[in-house]
Structure 1
Amino acid sequence: MEAKCLTVISAALLCLLLPPAWGGQVKEDWNYVQVRKNANMFWWLYYADHPTKNYTQVPLVMWLQGGPGASGCGFGNFAEIGPLDIKLKPRNSSWVQVASLLFVDNPVGTGYSYTTDSQAFARDVDTLTADMLLLLKEFFNSKAEFQTTSFYIFSESYGGKMAAAISLALHKAVLAGDIKCNFAGVALGDSWISPIDSVISWGPYLYSISLLDENGLRAVQKAADSVQDALNKGKYEEATDLWSMTEDVIEENTDGVNFYNILTQDSLMSRKENSNVKFGNLALGSLYRRHILPLQADELSELMNGPIRAKLKIIPDSVTWGGQSAEVFRNMAGDFMKPVVNIVDELLGAGINVTVYNGQLDLIVDTVGQEGWVKQLKWKKLDQFKNLRWTPLHLQSRETAAFYKSWENFSFYWILRAGHMVPSDQPETSLKMLQMITNQGN
């Protein structure tokens, strides 16, 4: 009873405090879209709060979280780029200062999105892409003022894999006249585009920075080779299990290095969260606990299932924020290790603006691995891009915050002193990068 009373009080406080926190200037909207029978996806829109321009004069950015099963409406919004942080205090580095923000909980079952049919969870990129196109068609039909606004898709981790596929399908849908929007480009942040390129680089990377000795390096390389072998044989679910085991080998040999920021041992991502979710597959369960549960930490879960749920008013009583994330993760197990480098090639060949950005301190999707799959691109302009010298990106302090290269419709940003969650680790740099990618400054 006491907890319930606290939730009611918190909800009341939120309704009182949320608008004044931004002077009542941030306009919001949210809704569900039924994408398939018994499958409903939730979106949340913040209209841009630009100091001098109307929201129709600045871009619309859709943010896709990773996992699969991590919530953009929760983690991306309150822990990374939204107008308020988890304490409901204004975020000085919020992207809403320069763009309208559209958060979507995808695939179905993520965050506030839900299904009442166990067979309705997505099992591959094609299904979640089709679902997203239905949502975007409904969104742009209902928000006609955004149809001519420059629309960008930004992503993180597994969200990058989804973003690549969604971007290509959206481009084709726009050309066919099925969706009315001004699609301007996609940004792939610390993205799971070619998982094996990360896995095979883990050992040498950790050894080069003295987080593995020679014995540890041999053990990690042996484990990584087994992942490569499974992939070569087309055994994708087995490759996923072996990926998890490779991470175990790394933890054993590095005294538990944090996969999301190698310099941050005691962080959100390095904690072992307890879970009542049971997986018949031990490797899959380990991956879920390591990579999904930390994005649903107690403080964020209490916020989303308490005050925010009360504010939104449309979340069904039967739906718990994050309650179906394990099923999302489990159903996508056969897709984890499949690369989508060919999709990025198609995007570049079609003239779509593609940006890759990566945190220097990330391990799970290390920069070495990202550079590895980029070198595999068949894009005709790749040699010109590779021959460029990178350019330092300076902030007001004149400190070097990043390096970047850009050739025609392809760019790469190396974000210094950042791990997997670039906007969280380097908010000022990520905001500057957003402005550059969306042509609002350089």
Structure 2
Amino acid sequence: MELVPWHLAALLLLPSLSPGIALIQPIEEGKEAWDYVTVRSNASMFWWLYYANNPCKNFTELPLIMWLQGGPGGSSTGFGNFEEIGPLDEELKPRKTTWLQSASLLFVDNPVGTGFSFANQSDAYAKNLDMVASDMLVLLQNFFDARPEFKTIPFYIFSESYGGKMAAGISLELYKAMQKGSINCNFAGVALGDSWISPVDSVLSWGPYLYSMSLLDDRSLTDMTKIGEKILDAMNKGLYEWATQLWADAETFVEQDTDGVNFYNILNKNPPESTMKTSPEFTQDHLVRLYHRHVRQLHQDKLSELMNGPIRKKLKIIPDFVTWGEQSSLVFSNMEKDFMKPVINIVDELLEAGINVTIYNGQLDLIVDTMGQEAWLRKLKWPELTAFSQMKRKPLYVNPESNDTSAFYKSHKNLAFYWILKAGHMVPSDQGEMALKMMRMVTGQEES
């Protein structure tokens, strides 16, 4: 385990501390630490912690945020850290909109096999949300026991894409564990960003959304609707693996009829699939397409070179047989049968339990478009939903002196929704200032 000044991370020439020393050294502000946790036999998960770095407050006065990436198979320690909210960008230059100024950040490579996390056997990969949540609870219990200074600090889980589905399941199991007393922490809420909560609602809204943006015409909209009906039928029959294959076909149709619209931002275009390389162990065609669109692009060559080069050298504890991102295709394929399953019921349970739930979505996202989010939101059985729905949204401005609307939001009881304008799937990457403001609002550090 290492404990080093984060602001010297760019030098990547820091001396290594002996294992265990970090646990007995005085904890100083502006530090970072990392380690592995064996969550099951032949399954280990990697985490990376940055202590909050605020000139006016000690880290104990600020919340702890765990960030979960999507995919499944997208690396939090890589993409979320260096591309979205961490202290440094992939050029190792300071990020002006890092969340570290307002919170300590815990990046976890999950499920097992993601990023620097690894599985030693083929049967050690997570197959469903229950396994994902169970593994994370082992990690969290280990983390809070090893770093008791965080047990009383408000703890939030922020997520993106499939990470939102995992965050919902993890949050519910964490709540249950806290009720039983098996984990001691101050869980304060979960934020679901552009989250894969109800896949079928997302897919069914693609046609109307693309049509409204002039990316589909009447004929294409009709064809897209028929595909959506097939997926809905498969879902209703419980044929989730078949639904995943149909979903891959739906994406291919969209790419063809929109001339390659980017699923993460409709203002951009996808690269031709012919330029993408496939993994030799990854032979099912529909999974190849899905993996390359939604996981592989998170691990671009530049980021992979950073993580497998300077960062690996800095961390010093990565086993020789582990390559960052190498197992991510297997993570994705092992979750195929669980991929299309909705978790609206879990969000309902979170709300009923009184857990603070925040939903935020980028205006330009397609894969998890805002229309789809609003569709599943209307299916909640939460007794306060009607009151929430009848509330009027409020505009948000990054600069109080500006008339440029950055977002809309509304909040009632323990549910909040943020509509982030001019952002795609990766909200912090596209609208860093607004994402930072939203995080500060969610964690009670800033008023609207």
Same fold, TM-score > 0.5, yes or no = yes
Question: In 1, distance between residues paired with 2:185 and 2:10?
Answer: 37
Specify whether residues 318 and 53 from structure 1 end up closer, same or farther in structure 2 by C-alpha distance, changes over 3 A only.
same
Question: In 1, distance between residues paired with 2:348 and 2:274?
Answer: 37
Deviations 1:274-327 (A, max 9, x none): 233443321111101111110000000000000000000000000000010011
One-letter code aligned to 1:159: G
Specify whether residues 345 and 294 from structure 1 end up closer, same or farther in structure 2 by C-alpha distance, changes over 3 A only.
same
Residues 272 and 289 in structure 1, CA contact (< 8 A), matched pair in contact too: no
One-letter code aligned to 2:293: R
Q: Does 1:131 align with 2:135?
A: yes
Q: Does 1:421 align with 2:422?
A: no
Q: Which residue of 1 aligns with 2:264?
A: 260
Q: Specify which of 7, 11, 14 is matched with residue 12 of structure 2.
A: 14
Q: Which residue of 2 aligns with 1:318?
A: 321
Deviation at 1:270, TM superposition (A): 9.2
Q: Does 1:34 align with 2:32?
A: no
Residues 10 and 92 in structure 2, CA contact (< 8 A), matched pair in contact too: no
1:229-240 alignment, distance < 5 Å: 229-240=233-244
SS of structure 1 residue aligned to 2:228: helix
One-letter code aligned to 2:219: N
Deviations 1:93-145 (A, max 9, x none): 00000000000000000000001111000000000100000000000000000
Q: Does 1:211 align with 2:215?
A: yes
One-letter code aligned to 2:436: L
Question: In 2, distance between residues paired with 1:101 and 1:429?
Answer: 18
Specify whether residues 271 and 368 from structure 1 end up closer, same or farther in structure 2 by C-alpha distance, changes over 3 A only.
farther
Q: Does 1:345 align with 2:348?
A: yes
Residues 29 and 52 in structure 2, CA contact (< 8 A), matched pair in contact too: no
Question: In 2, distance between residues paired with 1:25 and 1:147?
Answer: 17
- Structure 1 residue ranges without an equivalent (≥5): 1-10, 17-23
Question: In 2, distance between residues paired with 1:32 and 1:277?
Answer: 28
Q: Does 1:287 align with 2:290?
A: yes
One-letter code aligned to 2:111: P
SS of structure 1 residue aligned to 2:123: coil
Q: Specify which of 379, 386, 408 is matched with residue 383 of structure 1.
A: 386
Q: Does 1:172 align with 2:153?
A: no
Question: In 2, distance between residues paired with 1:105 and 1:221?
Answer: 36
One-letter code aligned to 2:94: P
Q: Does 1:300 align with 2:303?
A: yes
Question: In 2, distance between residues paired with 1:417 and 1:273?
Answer: 28
One-letter code aligned to 2:437: K
Residues 277 and 326 in structure 1, CA contact (< 8 A), matched pair in contact too: no
Deviation at 1:378, TM superposition (A): 0.3
Deviation at 1:209, TM superposition (A): 1.1
Question: In 1, distance between residues paired with 2:239 and 2:198?
Answer: 16
One-letter code aligned to 1:276: S
Q: Specify which of 127, 136, 140 is matched with residue 144 of structure 2.
A: 140
Deviation at 1:272, TM superposition (A): 5.0
Specify whether residues 256 and 115 from structure 1 end up closer, same or farther in structure 2 by C-alpha distance, changes over 3 A only.
same
SS of structure 2 residue aligned to 1:385: helix
Q: Does 1:226 align with 2:224?
A: no
Question: In 1, distance between residues paired with 2:177 and 2:107?
Answer: 21
Residues 152 and 186 in structure 2, CA contact (< 8 A), matched pair in contact too: yes
Q: Which residue of 1 aligns with 2:276?
A: 273
Q: Which residue of 1 aligns with 2:5?
A: none
SS of structure 1 residue aligned to 2:318: coil
Specify whether residues 231 and 318 from structure 1 end up closer, same or farther in structure 2 by C-alpha distance, changes over 3 A only.
same
Residues 47 and 101 in structure 1, CA contact (< 8 A), matched pair in contact too: yes
Deviation at 1:225, TM superposition (A): 1.2
Specify whether residues 121 and 150 from structure 1 end up closer, same or farther in structure 2 by C-alpha distance, changes over 3 A only.
same
Residues 10 and 93 in structure 2, CA contact (< 8 A), matched pair in contact too: no
Question: In 2, distance between residues paired with 1:163 and 1:270?
Answer: 30
> So what's the TM-score if we normalise by structure 1?
0.94
Question: In 2, distance between residues paired with 1:245 and 1:152?
Answer: 36
Q: Which residue of 2 aligns with 1:117?
A: 121
Deviations 1:180-232 (A, max 9, x none): 10000000000000000000110011001110011111121111111111111
Specify whether residues 438 and 270 from structure 1 end up closer, same or farther in structure 2 by C-alpha distance, changes over 3 A only.
farther
Q: Does 1:96 align with 2:100?
A: yes
Question: In 2, distance between residues paired with 1:12 and 1:207?
Answer: 45
One-letter code aligned to 1:376: K
Question: In 2, distance between residues paired with 1:372 and 1:420?
Answer: 17
One-letter code aligned to 2:297: P
Q: Specify which of 87, 99, 107 is matched with residue 111 of structure 2.
A: 107
Deviation at 1:12, TM superposition (A): 9.5
Residues 41 and 113 in structure 1, CA contact (< 8 A), matched pair in contact too: yes
Specify whether residues 319 and 270 from structure 1 end up closer, same or farther in structure 2 by C-alpha distance, changes over 3 A only.
same
Question: In 1, distance between residues paired with 2:94 and 2:264?
Answer: 25
Deviations 1:316-370 (A, max 9, x none): 0000000100110010000110000000000000000000000000000000000
Residues 278 and 285 in structure 1, CA contact (< 8 A), matched pair in contact too: no
One-letter code aligned to 1:421: M
**Cα RMSD between the aligned structures?**
1.7
> So what's the TM-score if we normalise by structure 2?
0.93
Q: Does 1:412 align with 2:410?
A: no
- Structure 2 residue ranges without an equivalent (≥5): 1-8, 15-27
Deviations 1:60-83 (A, max 9, x none): 000000000000000000000000
Residues 187 and 356 in structure 1, CA contact (< 8 A), matched pair in contact too: yes
Question: In 1, distance between residues paired with 2:428 and 2:137?
Answer: 26
Q: Which deviates more from structure 2 when the two are superposed, residues 168-177 or residues 271-280?
A: 271-280
Question: In 2, distance between residues paired with 1:344 and 1:276?
Answer: 35
Question: In 1, distance between residues paired with 2:418 and 2:274?
Answer: 29
Deviation at 1:52, TM superposition (A): 0.7
Question: In 2, distance between residues paired with 1:253 and 1:398?
Answer: 37
Question: In 2, distance between residues paired with 1:211 and 1:251?
Answer: 10
Q: Does 1:357 align with 2:355?
A: no
SS of structure 1 residue aligned to 2:261: coil
SS of structure 1 residue aligned to 2:100: helix
